[in-house]
């Protein structure tokens, strides 16, 4: 199976994101044949300067007629692998999708207009990427044609963005900052002849260097227990494997209860199987019954090592989605995989309004709709969690009030 790398593209409006995506699709031959032809025609008519943003608008219309998803996803491929570009239309939707897990980007591409330079939105985007823990970053300095392909201007912006990312706790590989002209096609798929001073990779070459997230199947075992059935004197623990593999005879530890056990049998659709991997819904029996007294829905069967974080206090980045604000000391229900328990909000830090992107430093007393903050939650019991980038399913959660989902959160 070919690898697929998902990356999110962000940039200040008008800095040329649509043009860049259009150019990537065109240069990799990933547009539908009629669109390829249209660009070729436009290119001839306009002296080699097709309006890619226009092509993207057309694609967008078609996409909206076909499907209703709230992040626009675009696909292209190189010889090495397939790519999905997650184009984040609005900050609110973007944050919601990133945090609730409907979108998982392995890398981010930040676009800057060479002429305009870093803008407020560029800073906010950098802040959000840091907040979400996206570690692989690429920065493209676009519209180099408008600054006469100036090396000096590029170096100046390169320093500024490196410093700004550093302010938000992120580091960027200098090779991953690339001067391009999306409109002219320089340094996107082809090097072109305008920037001989630049000896680094083209955008496509640099994309191919990014690393795909390791497959969940290769991760540590996390098997959240959904239910327990008693059939013919045998207790079967059922659930869907969130990460890793399990097999008969394997040593496991349930968390948060901390009881160890050995897997007796693995059952798929009621039939005995030798092993199962992430994504599969299975049942297991245990060799001895002693752990069963402690195991209930919500316990997570784990590898002996590494164990998850087991704690009654949790710090996480939370996106608030309800019209009724969250206030300090409020009690809400916490749901992570099959774990479900009440918690109290004991601290609200670093609030960010996802629409205006205004950052409110320090501690706050409340969190309003579409705001993001770092929360400290005091649980009424223990929970077993992982870091989001290691095991997405046990690294993210939702908060519920009555029966409404009011927030999504990720653990870093």
Contact residues for ligand GDP (CB under 6 A)?
11, 13-19, 51, 53, 142-143, 145-146, 181-183
Beta carbon of residue 396, minimum distance to ligand GDP (angstroms, whole number): 29
What CA–CA distance (Å, rounded) separates 406 from 395? 18
Beta carbon of residue 144, minimum distance to ligand GDP (angstroms, whole number): 7
Nearer to ligand GDP, 14 or 62 (CB): 14
What CA–CA distance (Å, rounded) separates 65 from 107? 28
Contact by Cβ (8 Å): 9, 111 = yes
Nearer to ligand GDP, 46 or 102 (CB): 46
Contact by Cβ (8 Å): 161, 178 = no
Number of H helices, E strands in the chain: 8, 24
Nearer to ligand GDP, 51 or 315 (CB): 51
Residue number of the CB atom closest to ligand GDP: 16
Beta carbon of residue 141, minimum distance to ligand GDP (angstroms, whole number): 10
Beta carbon of residue 18, minimum distance to ligand GDP (angstroms, whole number): 3
Nearer to ligand GDP, 26 or 388 (CB): 26
> In 10 A of CB 46, how many CB atoms?
10
- Helix, coil or strand: residue 148: coil
Beta carbon of residue 41, minimum distance to ligand GDP (angstroms, whole number): 17
Beta carbon of residue 142, minimum distance to ligand GDP (angstroms, whole number): 5
Nearer to ligand GDP, 55 or 301 (CB): 55
Nearer to ligand GDP, 117 or 258 (CB): 117
DSSP letter for 244, please: S
Beta carbon of residue 263, minimum distance to ligand GDP (angstroms, whole number): 52
Nearer to ligand GDP, 11 or 244 (CB): 11
The region that residue 117 occupies, defined by phi over 0 for left and psi between -120 and 50 for alpha, beta otherwise, is left
Helix (H) or strand (E) holding 52: helix 52-66
Burial of 157-189, coded b for 16+ CB within 10 Å and e otherwise, reads bbeebeebbeeeebebeeebbbbbbbbbbbbbb
């Amino acid at each position: 199976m070919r690898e697929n790398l998902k990356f999110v593209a962000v940039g200040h409006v008008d800095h040329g994101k649509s043009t860049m995506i259009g150019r990537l699709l065109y240069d990799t031959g990933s547009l539908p044949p009629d669109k390829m032809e249209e660009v070729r025609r436009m290119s001839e008519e306009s002296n080699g300067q097709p309006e890619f943003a226009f092509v993207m608008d057309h694609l967008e219309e078609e996409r909206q007629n076909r499907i209703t998803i709230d992040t626009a996803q675009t696909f292209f491929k190189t010889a090495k692998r397939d790519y999905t570009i997650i184009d984040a239309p609005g900050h609110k939707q973007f944050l919601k999708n990133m945090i609730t897990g409907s979108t998982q980007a392995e890398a981010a591409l930040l676009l800057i207009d060479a002429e305009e330079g870093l803008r407020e939105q560029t800073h906010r985007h950098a802040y959000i990427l840091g907040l979400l823990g996206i570690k692989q970053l690429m920065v493209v300095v676009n519209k180099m044609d408008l600054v006469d392909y100036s090396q000096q201007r590029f170096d100046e912006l390169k320093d500024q963005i490196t410093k700004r990312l550093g302010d938000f706790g992120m580091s960027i590989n200098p090779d991953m900052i690339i001067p391009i002209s999306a409109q002219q096609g320089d340094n996107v798929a082809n090097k072109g002849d305008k920037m001989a001073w630049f000896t680094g990779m083209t955008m496509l070459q640099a994309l191919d260097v990014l690393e795909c997230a390791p497959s969940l199947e290769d991760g540590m075992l996390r098997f959240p227990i959904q239910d327990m059935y008693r059939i013919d004197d045998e207790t079967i623990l059922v659930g869907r494997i969130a990460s890793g593999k399990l097999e008969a005879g394997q040593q496991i530890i349930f968390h948060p209860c901390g009881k160890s056990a050995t897997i007796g049998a693995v059952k798929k659709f009621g039939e005995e199987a030798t092993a199962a991997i992430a994504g599969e819904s299975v049942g297991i029996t245990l060799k001895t019954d002693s752990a069963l007294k402690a195991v209930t829905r919500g316990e997570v069967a784990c590898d002996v090592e590494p164990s998850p974080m087991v704690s009654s206090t949790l710090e996480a980045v939370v996106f608030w989605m309800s019209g009724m604000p969250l206030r300090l000391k409020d009690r809400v229900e916490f749901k992570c995989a099959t774990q479900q328990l009440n918690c109290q909000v004991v601290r609200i830090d670093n609030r960010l309004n996802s629409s205006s992107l205004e950052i409110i430093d320090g501690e706050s007393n409340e969190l309003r709709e579409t705001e993001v903050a770092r929360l400290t939650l005091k649980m009424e019991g223990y929970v077993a969690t992982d870091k989001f980038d290691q095991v997405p399913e046990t690294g993210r959660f939702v908060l519920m009030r009555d029966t409404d989902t009011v927030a999504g959160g990720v653990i870093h």
